[in-house]
């Protein structure tokens, strides 16, 4: 090993290893050189991980397409990593230490040398022979140790690199564990808040009917549409449906109104997007009426096909997602204007629920007001009858959100135990316009004129489409043409 040729080769190898700070390159180049020197069947390069397990990443100078992981202490490499000293076996088929290692059936003998830096084993070199009369011994260890001695600089470099890499890996694992812990805490808090009906409660018939319907359909996996004004509790009820459903996956909310079309597309349909986060669980599409037709098409496709193609990787992914959509506008009216896809509407509206506004269930205002006033407070306060009357006669355009804000503000600004009407803010009263029923003015019409007016009005309503008009009137197209001719509205030849 001390010839000028060997010294030059080692110097070249040292330069290559120093210029490539990569464990795969390191073990590949080193195993290639050792294989050339030893002239045996195989030389394997194992990296020793911080937990004592080993990772086979190189074989005869070639990097493995997929590294193979072995448990702590497994095989010859695991034994050497644990004991921190070389080991050789000239009858591996009968050697209990070698039995669980990595080798071909034809291998007869194996030598394993640890690569040690400052008492830490960063890897092993395993030399395997097919020769039945090959007896590894001390002379082989001297040869390999001389090679490692000449490569101390790149070996120390690799040690520092692996230390930094392992430290980074451990930090990432701790960060992920911490994020998961925090996420679980948030989910627990949200679930607890949700289970106590924090912003959705009541005793009114209309409210209880909605809750009972939600409970009945929760166990079914078909989509749900929840419509209602801002602040009535659509998202809270959506989460409630998920909890009642028994689905094990996450419940995720996509806030459509908060993003542009391109942003929402990535937010929902990317490889790390909300659709895949909700796989196995529930995706709440909040304010679905604000989605573009393109996003609507993709949502419909995912519902129908049960799969999606990610926008960033073009991967087709199978889906098991329960979709719950919320809308503060009437989707049916959007369908009529062409702003919302009709087929998506009917898919979502398999079960549609209209959550009543607070103004339509005034008997619930007292229950909710008392809850919001004292929730989480040590010193409880009482609403007087005058205060309750003032609250129940207001029409609450902001629904539960507005009521919650008013009661929290009132608690802070009011001294003493009792809340009087004067302690509440002055509400803008709804102006009620009394409808005066007008008596219809009688006009004389002949049956001919009455029929003509109805036919003309129907045509105008249907944009002049005679086929649709005839169908709406319950007559044939030919009869419609004849009547229009009799009114002088078309030529005779058109009525043939």
Q: Into how many domains does the chain fold?
A: 4
Q: What is the CATH number of the domain that holds 43?
A: 3.30.450.40
Same domain, 289 and 341: yes
User: Cβ contacts of residue 403 below 8 Å, gap of 6+?
Assistant: 358, 365, 368, 369, 372, 391, 396
Same domain, 229 and 297: yes
| Cα 454 to Cα 440: distance, rounded to the nearest angstrom | 18
Same domain, 9 and 55: yes
pLDDT of 5-61, one tens digit each?
777 888 888 888 888 888 899 999 999 999 999 999 999 999 998 888 999 999 999
What pTM was estimated for this model as a whole? 0.49
Comparing C-alpha atoms, which of 228, 263, 458, 237 is closest to residue 359?
228
The pLDDT profile of the chain, 496 residues, written as one tens digit per residue, is: 456 777 788 888 888 888 888 889 999 999 999 999 999 999 999 999 888 899 999 999 998 888 889 999 999 999 999 999 999 999 888 888 888 888 899 999 999 999 999 888 999 999 999 998 999 999 999 999 999 999 999 999 999 888 888 777 777 777 666 655 554 443 333 333 334 444 567 788 888 888 888 998 898 888 999 999 988 889 999 999 999 988 889 999 998 888 888 999 999 999 999 999 999 999 999 999 999 999 999 999 998 899 999 999 999 999 999 999 999 999 999 998 889 999 999 889 888 899 999 888 888 899 899 989 998 888 999 999 889 999 988 989 889 889 999 999 999 999 989 999 999 998 876 544 444 555 556 566 677 778 888 888 888 777 778 888 888 888 888 888 888 878 777 765 454 4
Comparing C-alpha atoms, which of 125, 141, 132, 129 is closest to residue 48?
125
Percent helix, percent strand, percent coil in the chain, to nearest 5: 50, 15, 35
Q: What is the CATH number of the domain that holds 254?
A: 3.40.50.300
Same domain, 8 and 78: yes
CB 255 within 8 A of CB 286: yes
Same domain, 157 and 274: no
For residue 186, the model assigns a pLDDT of: 39
Last residue of a domain, one of 356, 383, 407: 356
In a domain, residue 41? The reply is yes
User: Cβ contacts of residue 90 below 8 Å, gap of 6+?
Assistant: 108, 109, 134, 135, 136
Q: What is the CATH number of the domain that holds 489?
A: 1.10.10.60
Structural domain span for residue 296: 196-356
Same domain, 390 and 479: no
For 197, counting Cβ atoms within 10 Å of its Cβ (0-12 exposed, 13-18 middle, 19+ buried), the class is middle
pLDDT of 110-125, one tens digit each?
999 999 998 889 999 9
DSSP string, 80-135: HHHHTS-EEES-GGG-TTTTTS---TT--EEEEEEEEETTEEEEEEEEEE--TT--
Same domain, 369 and 315: no
Same domain, 321 and 283: yes
């Amino acid at each position: 090993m001390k010839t000028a040729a060997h010294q030059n080769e080692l110097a070249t190898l040292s330069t290559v290893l120093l210029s490539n700070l990569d464990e795969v390159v390191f073990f590949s180049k080193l195993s290639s050189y050792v294989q050339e020197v030893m002239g045996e069947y195989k030389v394997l390069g194992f990296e020793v991980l911080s937990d004592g397990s080993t990772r086979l990443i190189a074989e005869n100078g070639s990097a493995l397409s997929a590294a193979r992981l072995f448990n702590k202490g497994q095989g010859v490499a695991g034994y050497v990593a644990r004991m921190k000293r070389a080991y050789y076996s000239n009858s591996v088929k009968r050697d209990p230490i070698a039995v669980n290692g990595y080798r071909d059936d034809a291998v007869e003998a194996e030598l394993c040398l640890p690569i040690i830096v400052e008492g830490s084993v960063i890897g092993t070199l395993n030399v395997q022979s097919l020769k039945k009369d090959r007896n590894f011994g001390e002379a082989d260890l001297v040869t390999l140790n001389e090679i490692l001695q000449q490569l101390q600089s790149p070996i120390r470099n690799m040690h520092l690199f692996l230390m930094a890499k392992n430290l980074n890996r451990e930090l990432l694992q701790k960060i992920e564990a911490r994020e998961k812990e925090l996420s679980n805490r948030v989910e627990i808090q949200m679930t607890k808040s949700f289970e106590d009906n924090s912003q959705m409660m009541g005793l009114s018939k209309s409210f209880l009917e909605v809750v009972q319907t939600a409970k009945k359909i929760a166990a079914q996996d078909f989509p749900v549409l929840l419509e209602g004004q801002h602040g009535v509790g659509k998202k809270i009820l959506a989460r409630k449906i998920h909890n009642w459903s028994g689905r094990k996956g996450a419940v995720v909310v996509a806030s459509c109104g908060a993003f542009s079309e391109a942003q929402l597309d990535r937010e929902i349909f990317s490889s790390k997007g909300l659709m895949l986060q909700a796989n196995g669980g529930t995706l709440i599409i909040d304010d679905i009426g604000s989605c573009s037709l393109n996003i609507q098409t993709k949502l419909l496709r995912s519902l129908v096909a049960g799969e999606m193609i990610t926008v960033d990787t073009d991967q087709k992914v199978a889906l098991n997602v329960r979709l719950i959509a919320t809308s503060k506008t009437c989707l049916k009216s959007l369908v009529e204007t062409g702003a919302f896809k009709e087929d998506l509407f009917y898919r979502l509206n398999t079960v549609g629920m209209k959550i009543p506004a607070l103004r339509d269930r005034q008997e619930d205002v007292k229950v909710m007001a008392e809850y919001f006033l004292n929730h989480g407070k040590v010193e409880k306060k009482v609403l007087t009858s005058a205060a309750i009357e003032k609250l129940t006669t207001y029409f609450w355009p902001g629904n539960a959100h507005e009521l919650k804000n008013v009661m929290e503000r009132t608690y802070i600004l009011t001294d003493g135990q009792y809340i009087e009407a004067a302690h509440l803010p002055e509400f803008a009263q709804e102006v009620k316009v009394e409808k005066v029923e007008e008596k219809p003015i009688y006009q004389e019409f002949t049956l001919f004129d009455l029929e003509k007016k109805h036919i003309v009005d129907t045509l105008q309503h249907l944009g002049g489409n005679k086929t649709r008009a005839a169908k709406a009137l319950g007559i044939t197209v030919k009869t419609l043409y004849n009547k229009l001719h009799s009114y002088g509205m078309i030529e005779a030849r058109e009525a043939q």
